[in-house]
Structure 1
Amino acid sequence: MKSLTALLRSHPAGTARGSMRNDAAAALAAFAVVAVLANLVEEFTAFEWTLWATQAILALSLTLVWGQGGIFSLGQAAIYGVGGYTYGFWAINLADNTGETVTAVLAAIAAGTIVAALLGYFMFYGNVTDVYVAIITLATSLVLFAFVNSTSGTAYRIGDAPFGGYNGMTRIPRLTVRLPGAESYVLTRTQFFLVCAAAGLVIAVVVRIIARRPFGRISVALQHNELRTELLGYDVRRHKLALFTIGGAIAGFAGALFAAWGRFISPPVFSLAPAALVVIWVLVGGRTSVAGAFVGVLVVKGFSSWFGGASGDNEPIVLGLLLIVIVLALPGGIVPGLGRMRSRISTTLAGRDQPPAAGGPVPLQNGDDVSDVFPHRSSEDRGHRIAVQGVTKQFGGLAAVDDVTLDFPSQGVSCLIGPNGAGKSTLLALLSGQLRATSGAVTLDDHDLTKWHPYRRARGGVGIKLQVASIYAALTTRENLWLACYAKSRNIESSHTRSSELLAWLGLRGDAERPAGTLSHGQQQWLEIGMVVAGEPSVVLLDEPTAGMTRGETERTAALVTEMGERASVIVVEHDMEFVRRLDAPITVLHMGSLFAQGSFEQLSRDERIIDIYLGGRHADAAGE
């Protein structure tokens, strides 16, 4: 996980350009070494290495999709096969006329992109969960395997290119180039290997660049906490689709190179074994590491070739033993594991101590004034009024919220109280879009939000702090705040500046580079509040903001919430009645999902019905005796 965090450090423009130059220099150095070796070994060895290079490119597609975005796909090999077959159809039909097969490679990339986009659209916009993504991608592979395997008849052909059924497609042209006004040129095996190696290194550098850009940071964020990412205002479904589509383009490209390498492609490319092998390569090398894609293929293929020989009879045993060793010795994969070992050795030699343990209340800077980080609103922009009209939310036959109508002011604090199961958190989830109302409407001024997804509501000015601190535990404190700031500004530099201001305001400047999961409970609660404030919301939903806080932290939170109410509509769900009393705000009582009572703290504290709800009639009678 440390390698992933290191990948996502905040990069000023100069540092980012320096990292890009370093990556390009490393890629050029690697290519120079490969070029020397390719001219020293026999042509057959270069031919075998070409296969490994195409498989490394395929592994890079899964590194992007799974390592960065957390989308566990078992369909990369299937898209690889689609690219290979597309290259075969295009090259067989048109290569004789055009004198080149580069356009066939482009057609394979397009096919991989389209297949991934269509499959991803139905999965992500169909709200398929992670487990079912793996099942659907694997099922797609097996369906393609069954279909292509049954296309042995002469009727199954596109132009002059037959599918070939279980015998596969043969006579696929090699990679051929043709410059304008020149003759066609078929690459030799050594030249083809160098092209594949260069392509793999270029893709690796591009994937590294993507990882450093906001797109890559958001990808890692949704991998670690998809709900919080959407609540910040990111369109998670579109982002997943884009990531999966890019991975499909890379896999389709690898498939084209594979078909050109072997001049043959057959249905087993869609079977279970290739689908699993891609995952094994990435796991062995390290799924969060770009270099791990190359290392994983080299280690697995090298050991399989060494111990299994040409027949490969021992390959399953070799793979099994290799996986066991990697899981036990280097659970994150070879490259991240070696990186952690090097980091520990460097730390030991430098004599640096570990970061101090977090603890104590969270101090606020800048005079404890929320106005330094919360947006000022002009008299014309008085915030937004959020309301629910006749909202009901049913789970099966149970109504968690039952015909509730509430209108919250555009500025000021409002409290929701009630016993456990009263429907308070469910109502907040309906306001933020986490849940869709069974009936009724949620409005923000004149806009009907009822069918809006959480990211649209967040962009519209609705921010929420959840009951249990919802942060990116594996990312640093600074990265958490940067992601929240970027969701609002969409500007890299201003997000750096604002996240630094928020770190100072929260008193977390000294913990900026620590994983957020190592902060104390109170600090995590404050961090999430800071992430909500970073979005400059006009409506702030706080679900038990003082849970687990010390008395000092609770008192400061009450003052902060009051200050926030001067600039936004703040709706607080809380069980701590002393905290509610300090807020001195209008209170709404929910009971069994329905609106029960409204009033001030003093009014409701004298209401015997409220006492009976919280303590029960028998307890109230016993107290009277």
Structure 2
Amino acid sequence: MAPQVLSHHEIEEFMQIRQNFRDAHQADSAGIDSDVTSYLDWLRLATRRGLVCPILLAIAAIVLIPHIGVALQLKSVLWLSFGIVALSLDLVWGKAGIFSFGQNALFGVGAYAYAVAAVNFFPVTHETGSSVIVAVLASAVFAGAMGYVLFYGRIGDVYFAIVTLAVTLVFYTVMSSTSGPEYHIGEALLGGFNGIPSVPSIALGLPGNANNAEFAPPQLLAFAICLAALLYAAVKFIVTGRFGRMLAGVRENELRMELLGYDIRLLKLTVFVISGGIAGAGGALFAAWGTFVNPSLFSLSQAALVVIWVMVGGRGSLLGSFAGVVLVQWISDSADAVISEQTPLVLGLLLIVTVLLIPSGVLPSLAKLARRAVRTRRNGDEGKSHTAALANLSSDTQMAFDDLDVTPTSKGNMRAIEVKKNFGGISVLRGVTTDFGGPGVHVVIGANGAGKSTFFGVLTGRHTATSGSIELDGVEVTTSPTYKRARSGLGIKTQVPSLFPGLTVAENLALARYRSTAKHPSPHVRSTLATVGLHLRMDAVVSKLAHGEQQWLEIAMVLTQNPSVILLDEPAAGMTAEERLATVALIHQLAKSHTVVVVEHDMNFIRALNAPISMLHQGAIFKRGSFDEITADATVIDAYLGRKHATQR
């Protein structure tokens, strides 16, 4: 049979069908690739935020439960309850820098709350899941009440630790004194030092279902593993997000956080409440494990033990909380089997060894060893960065400033009216009245002790004026705290660079960005960083930067806030001649659309600014005028510049 010959039209139609098929196949492949990429991106994000590893570890641990004995199962539940309270301390201490000696008090409140609720509810509801919720809420509420008094009372860090320890000991004394039958909550007798016995263990199910039963040891361990994994994942998710970066800012530098517009008291209170709820969950698990609670939960030794767990495991590592519990308790149990009743001695020696040899803790030390090779390679380039930046300074400066696009939130005006400030019987400011209108540059000078720092402190809200008033953009802010003034349009650069030394350049800018009123990053921030080469060092830790680089980074952070009034306290201090020229150029550019107030000692720097000068002397405005007028005034020379300056003119 002769082969069939296709016509030209049929061949074209066939080719078109084949091309359509190929296009469809490519589209399907692209769609599949896109779905796979999206899935992988989500998986990477979930892993980074701590949502994957806890689940995998929990599954692996649950699989192993049938293969271990009942005694080890119960010991594991106990250690997990300890690990949860250690996790709560690691959150507030390791991540937010708040050292609390009272986490075991919150742990004990949760245990007692669970015991009381379970004794009263279980005969009716036949479940204790609601009792766990009661324990979490009770500890969180107590932490909120205590934290509000302490944080909003502006108590110092050391006193916070002392007060929380005192609260723990007060609980110990009070609960030990409740042995009479009159001390009860519903059906639960508090029992004094004998505690509350016969506490129901964990029983989950629908309330009122009589078939609900208390968990056997394997089920209780599975519940404890799931609870610990859930809490760890929740904390990891918190600290790897925006709120976690804010906590890092509080830990690194509370003052700069306030100057950026953050209410650090609210941040501290929030994280303390969260930690209280976590500690309460651990306390509930402890009470369910032992079916018994007593005042020893509030003892001094227990308070110290929580701190030891975190220190040994590694403060700030989160996972180190559980590792510290396992290591410390295993050593304690092993030592007690060899030398009876010497656990405190063993713990003391363990703490000393940790502080002297591995102060960062076990897990961070191991991680540091693993990263040592990578860090060595990175350090090779760090010494060159600042030199390269200075080499490009003169050529890049004008180009960078030409790109500035600053749009302040308001016209920019700050006014002080008869401001006085007394410290005890000493009058530092004696009725300062001045007006910094904008846009433009204003300079404040004065000898040491003239009141410049105090005046700046009153303007920023770090000091409260004894009398008089402060206005920012026409709104009185005399009694407003620092963070509210920053939110209203005040940017402050301190004399000594106030940064977050343990964070990277990018993280410093991100914290400033969170409180910015601008919808999009302004080019002038990028230009400021580019001027000294910091745009190439976004991943560099700030503590490794040169002094001049730190000065410029702080200026960039202030600019990120998009303020209307910018206060610069000795912005050129510690800078090289090239950096000072660049700083003068930056200030002049900013002055086109901002009100910039500069406090400075360097008369050459002040001359370059070419701005009106206000001179403070003995707590009052002594003289106003241009640079030439100020430096030519005989009284100014006598009071501030000195005769040497007069002979040099």
Q: Give me the TM-score of the superposition, normalised by structure 2.
A: 0.89
For the residue of structure 1 that corresponds to 2:383, the secondary structure is coil
Which protein shows a greater Rg?
A: 2
Residues 14 and 215 (structure 1 numbering): CA distance in 2 closer, same or farther, change over 3 Å? farther
Q: Is the 8 A contact 1:366 1:372 kept in 2?
A: no
Question: How far did residue 383 of structure 1 move?
Answer: 1.4
- What displacement does 1:485 show? 1.2
Query: Post-superposition shift, 1:351?
Result: 9.4
State yes or no: 1:530 paired with 2:561: no
Alignment partner, residue 553 of structure 1: 579
Paired with 1:526 and 1:230, the residues of 2 have a C-alpha distance of 19
Could you say what secondary structure the match of 2:616 adopts?
strand
Structure 1 unmatched runs, 5+: 1-11
- Please tell me whether residue 142 in structure 1 is matched to residue 169 in structure 2: yes
Within the candidate set 521, 524, 533, 2:547 is matched to 521
The 3-state SS of whatever aligns with 1:452 is coil
**CA 382–108 in structure 1, closer or farther in 2 if over 3 Å, else same:** closer
Pair 261,591 (structure 1): closer, same or farther in 2 beyond 3 Å: same
Aligned residues of 1:506 and 1:527 also touching (Cα < 8 A)? no
Written as runs of structure 1 = structure 2, the 5 A alignment for 1:298-317 is 298-309=326-337, 313-317=341-345
Structure 1 residues 192 and 339: CA distance shift in structure 2, 3 A: same
Give the residue type in structure 2 aligned to 1:131. V
For 2:471, the equivalent position in structure 1 comes to 443
**What's the secondary structure of 1:309's corresponding residue?**
helix
Of 278, 294, 301, 1:273 maps to: 301
Q: Residue 503 of structure 2 aligns to a residue in which SS?
A: coil
Contact 2:90 2:318 in 1 (8 A): yes
Q: Distance in 2 between matches of 1:306 and 1:553?
A: 61
Which residue of the partner structure matches residue 5 of structure 1?
none
Q: Tell me the alpha carbon deviations over residues 302-323 of structure 1, each in whole angstroms, 9 at most, x when there is no partner.
A: 1111111399612112212222
Code of the residue aligned with 2:346 in structure 1: it is V
Provide the rounded CA distance (Å) in 2 between the counterparts of 1:354 and 1:478.
Answer: 18
> By how many angstroms is 1:335 displaced?
0.8
Among 589, 592, 595, the residue aligned to 1:569: 595
For 1:105, the aligned partner's letter is: V
Question: 1:196: Cα distance to partner?
Answer: 0.8
Amino acid at match of 1:589: M
- Please say if residues 128 and 204 of structure 2, whose CA atoms lie closer than 8 Å, have aligned partners that are also in contact: yes
Indicate how the Cα distance of structure 1 residues 182 and 20 shifts in structure 2: closer, same or farther if over 3 A, else same: farther
The amino acid across from 2:437 in the alignment is P
Which of 637, 640, 645 does residue 611 from structure 1 map onto?
637
- Whether 1:359 and 2:386 are equivalent positions in the alignment is yes
One-letter amino acid of the structure 2 residue matched with residue 403 of structure 1: G
Instruction: Please give the root-mean-square deviation of Cα atoms over the aligned residues, in Å.
Output: 2.5
Q: Shift of the alpha carbon at 1:540?
A: 0.2
Is the 8 Å Cα contact of residues 368 and 505 (structure 1) preserved in structure 2?
no
SS at match of 1:403: strand
The equivalent position to 1:105 in structure 2, one of 125, 132, 145, is 132
What is the alpha-carbon distance in structure 2 between the residues aligned to residue 488 and residue 111 of structure 1?
37
C-alpha separation in 1, matches of 2:576 and 2:404: 24
* CA pair 576-490 structure 1, distance change in 2 beyond 3 A: closer
2:612 match: 586
CA displacement, residues 148-175 of structure 1 (integer Å, 9 cap, x when unaligned): 1111111110111111101111111111
Q: Report the counterpart of residue 152 of structure 1 in structure 2.
A: 179
Deviation of residue 373 (structure 1)? Answer: 5.2
For residues 126 and 472 of structure 1, the distance between their equivalents in structure 2, rounded to whole angstroms, comes to 24
The secondary structure found in structure 1 opposite 2:341 is coil
* Corresponding residue pairs, total: 605
| In structure 2, distance between residues paired with 1:264 and 1:295 | 26
Q: Which residue of 2 aligns with 1:232?
A: 260
1:217 to 237, 242, 245: 245
- Report the counterpart of residue 96 of structure 2 in structure 1: 69
Amino acid at match of 2:270: A
Query: Which letter maps to 1:551?
Result: A
- Of 394, 414, 418, the residue aligned with 2:422 is 394
* Percentage of identical aligned residues: 41
Closer, same or farther in 2 for the Cα pair 1:355/1:507, shift >3 Å?
A: closer
Contact 1:389 1:441 in 2 (8 A): yes
**Conservation of the 8 A alpha-carbon contact between 1:489 and 1:495:** no
Q: Deviations over 1:389-409 (max 9, x none)?
A: 110111122222111011111
Classify 1:443/1:310 alpha carbon distance in 2 versus 1 (closer, same or farther; 3 Å). farther
Deviation string 1:188-231 (CA, Å, 9 cap, x unpaired) is 11111111111111211111111111111010111110000110
Secondary structure, counterpart of 2:415 in structure 1: strand
Partner of 2:316 in structure 1?
Answer: 288
The 3-state SS of whatever aligns with 2:485 is helix
Distance change in 2, residues 1:347/1:407 (3 Å): closer
SS in structure 2 at match of 1:192:
helix
Residue identity in the other structure for 1:288 = G
CA shift in 2, pair 1:282/1:497, >3 Å: farther
Q: Deviations over 1:522-581 (max 9, x none)?
A: 111111111101100100000000011111111111111111111111100000111111
CA distance in structure 2 between the aligned counterparts of 1:538 and 1:196, rounded to whole angstroms: 53
| Counterparts of 2:374 and 2:554, CA distance in 1 | 33
Once the two structures are TM-superposed, the CA of residue 497 in structure 1 deviates from its matched residue by 10
Residue equivalent to 2:455: 427
Alpha carbons 2:405, 2:523 under 8 Å: kept: no
- One-letter code aligned to 2:157: D
Deviation at 1:510, TM superposition (A): 2.2
Q: Would the alpha carbon gap of residues 543 and 244 (structure 1) be closer, same or farther in structure 2, given more than 3 Å must change?
A: same
Task: Work out the CA distance in 2 between the residues paired with 1:233 and 1:121.
Answer: 20
* Equivalent residue number for residue 11 of structure 2: none
Q: Is the 8 A contact 2:89 2:275 kept in 1?
A: yes
> Is residue 202 of structure 2 the alignment partner of residue 175 of structure 1?
yes
Q: State the SS of the aligned residue for 1:440.
A: strand
- More moved, 326-335 vs 589-598: 326-335
In structure 2, distance between residues paired with 1:156 and 1:235 = 41
Kindly state the Cα deviation for residue 515 of structure 1 after the two structures are TM-superposed.
Answer: 1.0
Shift of 1:367: 4.3
Aligned amino acid, residue 566 of structure 2? V
Which amino acid in structure 1 is aligned with residue 161 of structure 2? A
Distance of 1:155 and 1:18 partners within structure 2: 57
- Corresponding letter in the other structure for 1:561: I
Name the SS of the counterpart of 2:623 in structure 1: strand
Select which of 21, 37, 52 maps to 1:25: 52
